[in-house]
């Protein structure tokens, strides 16, 4: 396990692509319990299985409650890097859509009209670099819908070649200290096609 930080209240780790973030067999909580030899690991936010990136897990019920409150109050910041196939019409923009979830087929899609089954999805992005018909963008999520980044860009003719949760910022649930953790992209394609600034 790639552990970035741990104390008695939280553990910050990099979730590999292909591993679920929820508490089920083979998921991150189970892996962390085995690695840290502890019983209490609670998921407070999710990351799609195919996406690698930084996650914080609570090590107590109180820590989980306080972190969840930050998420509800939009004081929990998540920044992603995504590689788009193509070039967006604007170098920076905010995308807002209605997303619906087909639970039977486990798919998320853009809906044309509001309904009890739709929820607003909103993100902001800005362009970092481009190469070989691909564009590297930095994405800030304002809502946390399943497959949101992938679906919102794909609906505009910009399918993802790769995405990764790059940065996570929150207040420590016990000390209220501002904490930020980052995880650079792997040294593999498509990320190696781009020049990354020292700070994103």
Report the distance separating Cα 24 and Cα 87, nearest Å: 38
Q: How many CA atoms lie within 13 A of 138 on its CB side?
A: 14
Of 123, 124, 131, which is closest to residue 191 (Cα–Cα)? 131
Q: Hey, which residues are catalytic here? A: 48
**Which H or E run contains 133?**
none
114-144: b (≥16 Cβ within 10 Å) or e? eeeebbebebebebbebeeebbbbbbebeee
**Which H or E run contains 71?**
helix 61-72
Dihedrals phi, psi of 33, to nearest 5 degrees: -60, -45
Token pair, residue 45, equals: 């936010």
**What residues form DSSP beta bridges with 176?**
none
């Amino acid at each position: 396990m790639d552990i970035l930080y741990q104390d008695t209240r939280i553990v910050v780790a990099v979730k590999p692509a292909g591993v679920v973030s929820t508490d089920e067999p083979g998921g991150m909580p189970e892996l962390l319990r085995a690695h840290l030899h502890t019983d209490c690991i609670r998921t407070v936010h999710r990351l799609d299985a195919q996406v690698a990136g930084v996650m914080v897990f609570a090590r107590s019920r109180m820590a989980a409650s306080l972190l969840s409150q930050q998420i509800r109050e939009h004081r929990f910041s998540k920044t992603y890097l995504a590689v788009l196939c193509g070039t967006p019409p604007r170098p920076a923009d905010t995308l807002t859509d209605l997303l619906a979830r087909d639970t039977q087929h486990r798919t998320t899609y853009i809906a044309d009209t509001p309904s009890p089954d739709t929820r607003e999805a909103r993100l902001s992005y800005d362009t970092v670099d481009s190469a070989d018909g691909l564009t590297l963008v930095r994405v800030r999520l304002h809502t946390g819908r399943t497959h949101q980044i992938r679906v919102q860009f794909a609906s505009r003719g910009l399918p993802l070649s790769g995405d990764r949760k790059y940065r996570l910022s929150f207040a420590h649930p016990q000390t209220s200290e501002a904490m930020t953790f980052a995880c650079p992209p792997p040294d593999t394609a498509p990320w190696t096609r781009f020049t990354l600034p020292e700070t994103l």
